[in-house]
Structure 1
Amino acid sequence: MAGSDKLNRPLFDLDSLRALVMVADCGSFTTAAARLHSTQSTVSQKVRRLEEMVGHRLLERGNRDVLPTDAGQTLLGYARHMLAFNDEMFEAMSGATVAVTVRLGVPEDFVAGRTTHLLSAFNRKHPQVKLEVTSGLCRDLSSGYDNGELDLILVKQRRNSREAVASWPEKLQWIDSASNPTFELDPIPLVTFPPRGLYRDDMINAIERMGRRWRISFTSSSLSGIQAAVADGMGVSLLPQRAVTADHRVLTKNNGLPTIDAMEVVIIHRPSADVMVKELAGVLAQSLACQY
Structure 2
Amino acid sequence: MNKYHHLDLVSLRLIVFLLEGGNLSYASFKLDIAVSTASYKLKKLERELNIDLVKKTGRDLSLTERGKEFADFAKALLASNDSFFSRNQPTSYSELVTVGISDRLLSRMSLSVIRHAFEERKESVAFQVITGDSNTIFRMFQAGGLDIAIR
Q: TM-score, normalised by structure 1?
A: 0.29
Tell me the equivalent position of 2:38: 43
The amino acid of 1:34's aligned partner reads F
Tell me the equivalent position of 2:10: 15
Distance 1:20 1:45 in 2: 13
The amino acid of 1:71's aligned partner reads R
8 Å CA contact 2:13, 2:74 repeated in 1:
yes
The amino acid of 1:28's aligned partner reads N
**1:28 to 2:27 alignment:** no
Q: Which has the higher helix share?
A: 2
Give the percent of matched residue pairs that are identical in Structure 1 and Structure 2.
29
**1:89 to 2:91 alignment:** no
Tell me the equivalent position of 1:75: 70
Tell me the equivalent position of 2:52: 57
8 Å CA contact 2:54, 2:62 repeated in 1:
yes
8 Å CA contact 2:14, 2:27 repeated in 1:
yes
Does 1 or 2 have the higher relative contact order (CA < 8 Å, sep 6+)?
A: 2
The amino acid of 2:19's aligned partner reads A
Using a 3 Å threshold, how does the CA distance of structure 1 residues 55 and 88 change in structure 2: closer, same or farther?
same
Distance 1:47 1:64 in 2: 15
Please list every run of at least 4 consecutive aligned residues from structure 1 whose deviation after the TM superposition is greater than 4 angstroms.
none
Query: Any gaps of 5 or more consecutive residues in structure 1?
Result: 97-292
* Secondary structure class of the residue paired with 2:7: coil
* CA deviation vs aligned residue, 1:29-48 (integer Å, no higher than 9, x gap): 11221222111010111111
Distance 1:51 1:57 in 2: 6
Q: Which has the larger radius of gyration?
A: 1
* Secondary structure class of the residue paired with 1:10: coil
Q: Which has the higher strand share?
A: 1
* CA deviation vs aligned residue, 1:139-197 (integer Å, no higher than 9, x gap): xxxxxxxxxxxxxxxxxxxxxxxxxxxxxxxxxxxxxxxxxxxxxxxxxxxxxxxxxxx
Q: CA deviation at 1:64?
A: 5.3
* Secondary structure class of the residue paired with 1:57: coil
**Equivalent residues in 2 for 1:111-126, closer than 5 Å:** none
